[in-house]
Amino acid sequence: MASPGSRLAELRRSTDLDQALRVATELLADAGVPTPRADAELLVAYLLNTSRGGVVAAALRGTTPPAGLADLVACRAARIPLQYLTGVAYFRDVQLAVGPGVFVPRPETELVAGLAVGAARELVSVQGDALVADLGTGSGAIALAVATEVPDAQVLAVEVDRTAAAWAERNFRGQQNIQLVVADVQSALVNCAVDVVVTNPPYVLPGTPTEPEVVHDPPAALWGRGTDGLDVARGFVAAAVHSLRPGGFFVMEHAESQVDTVRTLLAAHFDQVVSHNDLTGRPRMTSGRRNATAAR
């Protein structure tokens, strides 16, 4: 088996894009990257400023590999997140700028956003508008998805970390129905009455096995606090309980192992508590309706 160094040397010598893609794919596969061919194509697409389809077409034409490909492949083989290398993350129908200091949104969170989108869309159809709060917005992925898919909704994107908030601000440019609030969630929502609260809080228990890319995520956005990893989430739930109108919708992402604890936590303040599966069939998000008789 060729060593990583010899594969990189071969990649640097490549004069044919199709050959370069094969070598890059083998190198990334040997490094344990889950989707080596896709990542190789996306790195080339970034360098050529084209799509993956454009990369395939360029390879068929015998195009020369773009300059800098070997360096990017080496970084990806070191398990630096693909999104940090290209500066772009895709989330539902939006494209986000991301980089060091902000959590890269994961595919399972798209389903959490989808539940918030559905609740906001239902409210808009009934009352003409809806106020949605995204707690711990990070890059702004959920907030931007809701704002673009439900343009008659107004979205409060709350983020306490200023580095992450700067990425969110960049992603919100030109989007008129989002307000970024740089504050802790309790302060941000103290005088608010909202219809929908959605959150992907830090919940991963320290010591949980993770992919190597995770070391590049901001620790405060990933690792939960407390013996069950849910102390931050409890604060977010308390803020939601305070700010949601009676009948308002709440949804939160969590780990599969936390589902029973989260359901118990929500049942004290919410009706219709339901856990929802991700695309692999694991319960990764739980929603509820604020008690209709609740007094704010």
What the chain holds in terms of domains, given with CATH numbers, is 4-78 (no CATH), 99-290 (3.40.50.150)
Q: What is the distance between the alpha carbons of residues 51 and 225, in angstroms, rounded to a whole number? A: 40
Question: For residue range 147-205, what is the model confidence (pLDDT) as tens digits?
Answer: 999 999 999 999 999 999 999 999 999 999 999 999 999 899 988 899 999 999 999 99
Question: For residue range 198-209, what is the model confidence (pLDDT) as tens digits?
Answer: 999 999 998 888
pTM comes to: 0.91
Burial class (CB within 10 angstroms; exposed 0-12, middle 13-18, buried 19+) of 224:
buried
pLDDT of 84 over the 90 cut? yes
CB 149 within 8 A of CB 93: yes
Q: What is the distance between the alpha carbons of residues 152 and 120, in angstroms, rounded to a whole number? A: 9
Q: What is the mean pLDDT of the chain?
A: 93
Give me the amino acid identity at 25: T
CB 83 within 8 A of CB 104: yes
Q: Between the CA of residue 216 and those of 81, 112, 204, 211, 212, what are the distances in Å?
A: 7, 23, 15, 10, 8
Question: For residue range 71-83, what is the model confidence (pLDDT) as tens digits?
Answer: 999 999 999 999 9
Q: Between the CA of residue 85 and those of 245, 271, 274, what are the distances in Å?
A: 42, 43, 38
Of the chain, the end-to-end C-alpha distance in Å amounts to: 66
